[in-house]
Amino acid sequence: MIYNLHTHTYRCNHAVGSDREYVEAAVKSGIKVLGFADHCPQFFPVTDYYSHFRMRPELCEDYVKSVRGLQKEYERDIKILLGFETEYYPQMFHRLIEFIEPFDFDYLIMGQHFVGNEYDEQSYYTPRGDRGENFLASYVSQVIEGLETGKFTYIAHPDTVNYSGSPDFYRQKIRELCEYAKKHDIPLEYNILGHTNRKCYPNPEFWNIAAETGNKTVLGFDAHSPEALKTLDAYNECIGELEKLGIIPAEFEDINIVKP
């Protein structure tokens, strides 16, 4: 059964299409579970930083209404879930949870696009590259700290760090991350958008370690347009890549959906 818990909407400013178009495309492709996980608003404690690639807080109500409406309307064709993709920023996470709680979301996925708190000087965009061992170590400890909150259903593109450093160190840190995820039954996402757009992820080195560790794996379309759900070609290519590693993606029923 094909499912996808990683779908964006136009509200994040870098995705296109109406919510309904995503649902229609998913139904036509035979996807049985569609989770919306748009980029969550963040509450930066400064006024001189504005983050353009996420939903503004005032759009959240409309997002919830729209997705819950479609969930009811299409209940015979597809199971729809309402979620958010978010970074774990230690300085603001409490405020984020406080904000989303009243909306009764189904789940959160962690997409750690930055190390640090995004707005501060220590922050760095994870796929940007040219970062060595300290950066990788910070990424791994920030992700684990975030998972410790118990709020996340899975880790989106856990392999976004564009690393340049000793391969031994990479293996050591990634094994630490994979072992934590396995111990706490938190799946790792093999990102289909990264595959399609030839980003620095999915990283074969990372997935070799995940295969050795035996991590629960999910495929995520990371759809930023309804077109991404209209064909299963990329999905099937990713299944093939995982097969070579001996990884069989988890069934939807085996994923522990954590209510934030």
Site residues, Zn ion (CB under 5 A): 85, 222
Answer yes or no: are the C-beta atoms of 11 and 55 closer than 8 Å: yes
Half-sphere exposure (Cβ direction) of 20: Cα atoms closer than 13 Å: 2
φ/ψ bin of 169: left (φ > 0), alpha (ψ from -120 to 50), beta (otherwise): alpha
Beta bridge mates, 114: 125
| C-alpha to C-alpha distance for 110 and 224, rounded to whole angstroms | 17
Place of tokens 């990683």: 6
Report the C-alpha gap between 111 and 64 in whole angstroms: 20
Name which of 193 and 242 has its Cβ closer to Zn ion: 193
Residue 95 in contact with residue 88, Cβ under 8 Å? no
Closer residue to Zn ion in complex, CB, 170/255: 255
Closest residue to Zn ion: CB criterion? 222
Contacts of 88 by beta carbon, 8 Å cutoff, 6+ apart: 110, 112, 142, 143, 145, 146, 147, 149, 152
Q: CA angle, 249 as apex, 72 and 237 as ends, to 5°?
A: 95
Using the minimum distance from each CB to Zn ion, give the nearer residue, 106 or 222. 222
Q: Judged by CB, which is closer to Zn ion: 206, or 221? A: 221
| Shortest CB 101 distance to Zn ion, Å | 22
Q: How far is the CB of 222 from Zn ion (least distance, A)?
A: 4
State in angstroms the smallest separation of the CB of 31 from Zn ion.
Answer: 16
Question: For residues 4 and 66, which CB has a smaller minimum distance to Zn ion in the complex?
Answer: 4
How near is the Cβ of 151 to Zn ion at its closest, in Å? 17
In the bound complex, what is the minimum distance in angstroms from residue 15's beta carbon to Zn ion?
Answer: 6
In order of 69, 87, 141, the CA distances from 92 in angstroms are: 30, 10, 17
Instruction: Give strand pairing partners of 189.
Output: 218
User: Looking at the chain, how many residues does it have?
Assistant: 260
The least distance separating Zn ion from the CB of residue 166, rounded to whole angstroms, comes to: 30
**Considering beta carbons, is residue 86 or 215 the nearer one to Zn ion?**
86
